[in-house]
Amino acid sequence: MEKEIFGLIGRKLGHSDSAIIHDTFGLKDYRLFEIEPDEIESFLNTPGLKGLNVTIPYKMDVIPFMDELTDEAKAVGSVNTIVFRNGRKIGHNTDVFGLMYMAKRAGIDFSNKKAVVFGNGGASRAVVYAAKKMGAREIVVISRTGKNNYENLYLHEDADILINATPVGMYPNPEGAIVDPARFQKAVGCMDLVYNPRLTDFLRLSKQAGKIAVNGLGMLVAQAKEAEEWFLDREISDSEIERVLTHVARARTSIALVGMPGAGKSAIGKRLGELSGLPVYDADTEVEKEAGMTIPEIMEKEGVPAFREREAAVIKSLSLLRGAVIVTGGGAVLREDNRLNLKRNARVYQIARDVALLPKEGRPLSVDLTQMEKERAPYYALSRDVMIQNNTTIEEAAEKIWRDFCENTRD
């Protein structure tokens, strides 16, 4: 019997979570296929194909090769799911269901609201269609060259909801926001279809402005559920979306530890690795590996500013990891770029310990730990999601972190 093939087609899929999502739903042999534009037609005729998801940049490109489009796919003008049945290719759009689930889950109500959508590709089309279905009063699409563009977008500062349907802020280039959400004072909800990193600059700025901010992982999981229903011709309960979303969010979120020198970060990080099964990375160790010198040697030969530059480069690299324990040096939080980078994919824990318990061995007498803690306290506060006291045992502190992480990492 010919093996049935399920998977995802796109051009660059190194960041995709589709395989782990479908595996968690129960579709174990789901594969990723990176293809070039001129390979689409031939690939769609591969023997054994049963079901495919389609991602950028091919959601519109596959349409000419479909034998049939569902009403929703026709209306959207975009296909993200293909079912192969009885020798026919049927194009669906499950992004609409995913977007509607994402909005409902976040508590963002489109009824009689004005929505501004950034981007005019296949994902944007699904957003517009979903917004109409949810009762939006007005929908404005911002594109590079259209009537509504990035030169005049602030004419729509009265928008209630902002949706980023572009790749701006997506791995591996996470810096930058499509727009400053604070300029849209009336907006209450900001949705970013990007899910890697989990906290884009657009969402971070949205949160700072007091708005509901939600990434695209919920949409991705919800649309995958509907796609799998089409693939396997069976109904899947919506409750499965939450189970899969929780599993994927935990698997793809890191734990970052910040805190004073000697607070126990390295020991706690090691224990967290054992509890979670996640790989552990120590920023100081990574700096030494790359430099081929110890940190004291770097400081002596190159100076403290050079060490901080090396440290920032390492933290930027580690912040792109998803599903790791990241241990930072005591002074890493002094730089804003380090604080922002750590939050992209991690839940950040400050390890706090009474100054009297901090080890003083190996430190110059001129280092006043009480004064250092006072000076750094505001930066630790800016960095952390949670503070964990480490005045008893490493085991207790690590277990507190792991328990909090499991209870609060759902996206």
DSSP 259-286: ESTTSSHHHHHHHHHHHH---EEEHHHH
**Is the confidence at residue 104, as pLDDT, over 80?**
yes
Strand order in the sheet with 386-389: 280-282, 325-327, 254-259, 346-352, 386-389
Distance, in Å, from the CA atom of 24 to the CA atom of 15, rounded to the nearest integer, reads 17
Q: What are the DSSP E strand ranges found in 56-183?
A: 68-69, 81-85, 88-92, 114-118, 138-142, 161-164
Give pLDDT tens digits for 162-202: 999 999 999 999 999 999 999 999 999 999 999 999 999 99
pTM for this model (two decimals): 0.92
Amino acid at 388: I
**Is the confidence at residue 308, as pLDDT, over 80?**
yes
| Average pLDDT value for residue range 220-241 | 96
**Is the confidence at residue 364, as pLDDT, over 90?**
no
Distance, in Å, from the CA atom of 33 to the CA atom of 297, rounded to the nearest integer, reads 47
Q: What are phi and psi of 80, to 5 degrees?
A: -120, 0
* 197 cis-preceded (ω within 30 degrees of 0): yes
The pLDDT value given to residue 361: 67
What domains sit in the chain, N to C, each tagged with a CATH number?
5-92+221-236 (3.40.50.10860), 97-215 (3.40.50.720), 253-408 (3.40.50.300)
Label residues 44-57 b or e (16+ Cβ within 10 Å = b): beeeebbbbbbbbe
The pLDDT value given to residue 359: 80
**Is the confidence at residue 242, as pLDDT, over 50?**
yes
Give pLDDT tens digits for 201-211: 999 999 999 99
| Average pLDDT value for residue range 94-106 | 97
**Is the confidence at residue 91, as pLDDT, over 70?**
yes
Q: Closest by alpha carbon to 183, among 227, 153, 204, 213?
A: 153
Distance, in Å, from the CA atom of 127 to the CA atom of 139, rounded to the nearest integer, reads 10
Catalytic positions: 59
Sign of CA dihedral 184, 193, 142, 172: positive
Q: How far is CA 132 from CA 128, 140, 247, 261, 328, in A?
A: 6, 11, 31, 54, 46
Give pLDDT tens digits for 147-162: 999 999 999 999 999 9
